[in-house]
């Protein structure tokens, strides 16, 4: 326990810093969003209608990409990227273990092998040197994750991919609104995958997208996400179709379509992206200021090239300066009515990967970071009082457990 003057923790019978529970993330839906969805639901087409094309056009404009394909979720986006890149049996795909499982699973879906590169111990993003060290004659692609929303070191990774002839896929599930050297995420990799899950910066309920500047990749992404079917007569192999009802399945694809009412919600949310980004910047700046004088709390370093719209705010505990475990700190935060989360369990820790020969120790930096981190609340609807209550909870627990 810390000094005797420390305020008693709620987990030990003290008074919580908040009366109501606050969570690490949540969607921000207003009446404009509800109206946009309602308008589509009252109309003739709730799927395969005009809103999907409209949101793809808007996404391309927002990300600076030439093409965008919206899909059912971020996992579908990654799967389509693997299919479009021609990844298959015997191939290897390098990614980070400090991510949601889909970043690696997408390689498994197409019969390839995920290879885990370690992360930078300060930025928590995939380390370009580790990427290069893991390249073999079977490596076909890199899936680089913009962890928490911070852009990866695109220039270095792009150079590695170009030199080795690899497809560069950016998993920007966290990073809509982030810019790298002034360029929006979505226009930098060969393909960039987004997620619009409710805890992300903008949402369509579930939903995802892939952006690209390559017309051939765009064609393959469209086929992969829509049953491999084309309906444009100019694209038919059959030059004399029987009638206007004719369509062609040209390859094996999947039903990863987004509905029109989801697209309408996403259009409405995209209009708020700048405001959401601004508020996230404000909250991050306040957290950074508050934790600067707490040596027990380590914050994620941001590279100067990244103008980050932060999806997650991660605190790392310096457990050498605290008399508690990460679990004890996490549970104490919950008792103070500040519900945190941990992002993420290293992917190769899971039974599915252990059964395939992956062992702990592959990525020492990622494993050490995982042991010490948690995500604290960050979303635009947080009031200044909400932010201060989170800071108060962190400070209260640090004071209690300080060595």
Q: So which residues are the catalytic ones?
A: 200
Number of H helices, E strands in the chain: 13, 15
Q: Which residues contact 109 (CB under 8 A, 6 or more apart)?
A: 79, 82
Largest CA distance in the chain: 86
Distance of alpha carbon 9 from alpha carbon 11, whole angstroms:
5
Q: Residue 24 in contact with residue 339, Cβ under 8 Å?
A: yes
Tokens 């903008």, residue located = 202
Nearest alpha carbon to residue 70 among 86, 52, 83, 87: 52
* Exposure string for 125-136, b = 16+ CB within 10 A, e = fewer: bbbbebbbebbe
CB atoms within 10 A of CB 31: 8
Q: What secondary structure does DSSP assign to 78-103, as a single string?
A: HHHHHHHTT--TT-EEEE-SSS-THH
C-alpha of 363 from chain center:
20
Question: What is the CA angle 177-86-169, rounded to 5?
Answer: 20
Three-state SS for 228-281 is CEECCHHHCCCCCCCCCCCCEECCCCCECCCCHHHHHHHHHHHCCHHHHHHHHH
- Hey, what are 214's tokens? 């390559």
Residue 379: phi and psi, rounded to 5, are -165, 155
Q: Give the length of the chain.
A: 403
């Amino acid at each position: 326990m810390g000094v005797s003057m420390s305020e008693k923790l709620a987990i030990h019978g003290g008074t919580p810093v908040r009366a109501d529970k606050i969570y690490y993330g949540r969607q921000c839906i207003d009446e404009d969003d509800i109206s946009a969805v309602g308008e589509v639901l009252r109309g003739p087409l709730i799927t395969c209608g005009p809103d999907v094309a409209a949101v793809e056009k808007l996404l391309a404009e927002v990300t600076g990409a030439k093409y965008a394909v919206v899909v059912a979720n971020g996992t579908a986006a990654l799967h389509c990227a693997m299919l479009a890149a021609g990844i298959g049996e015997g191939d290897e795909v390098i990614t980070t273990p400090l991510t949601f499982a889909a970043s690696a699973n997408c390689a498994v879906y197409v019969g390839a092998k995920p290879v885990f590169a370690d992360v930078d111990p300060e930025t928590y993003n995939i380390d370009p040197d580790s990427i290069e060290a893991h390249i073999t004659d079977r490596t076909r692609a890199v899936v680089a994750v913009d962890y928490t929303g911070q852009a990866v070191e695109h220039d270095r990774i792009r150079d590695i991919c170009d030199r080795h002839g690899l497809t560069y896929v950016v998993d920007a599930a966290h990073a809509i609104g982030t810019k790298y050297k002034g360029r929006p995420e979505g226009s930098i990799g060969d393909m960039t995958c987004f997620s619009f899950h409710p805890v992300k910066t903008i949402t369509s309920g579930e939903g995802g997208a892939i952006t690209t500047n390559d017309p051939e990749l765009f064609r393959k992404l469209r086929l992969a996400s829509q049953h491999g079917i084309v309906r444009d007569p100019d694209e038919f192999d059959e030059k004399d179709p029987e009638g206007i009802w004719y369509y062609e399945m040209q390859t094996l694809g999947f039903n990863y379509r987004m509905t029109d009412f989801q697209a309408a919600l996403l259009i409405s949310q995209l209009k708020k992206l700048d405001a959401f980004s601004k508020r996230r910047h404000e909250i991050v700046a306040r957290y950074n200021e508050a934790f600067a004088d707490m040596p027990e709390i380590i914050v994620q370093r941001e590279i100067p090239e990244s103008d980050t719209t932060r999806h997650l705010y991660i605190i790392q505990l310096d457990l050498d300066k605290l008399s508690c475990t990460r679990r004890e700190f996490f549970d104490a935060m919950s008792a103070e009515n500040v519900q945190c989360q941990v992002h993420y369990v290293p992917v190769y820790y899971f039974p599915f990967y252990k059964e395939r020969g992956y062992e702990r120790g592959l990525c020492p930096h990622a494993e050490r970071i995982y042991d010490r981190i948690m995500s604290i609340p960050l979303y635009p609807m947080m009031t200044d009082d909400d932010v201060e209550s989170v800071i108060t909870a962190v400070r209260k627990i640090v004071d209690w457990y300080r060595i």
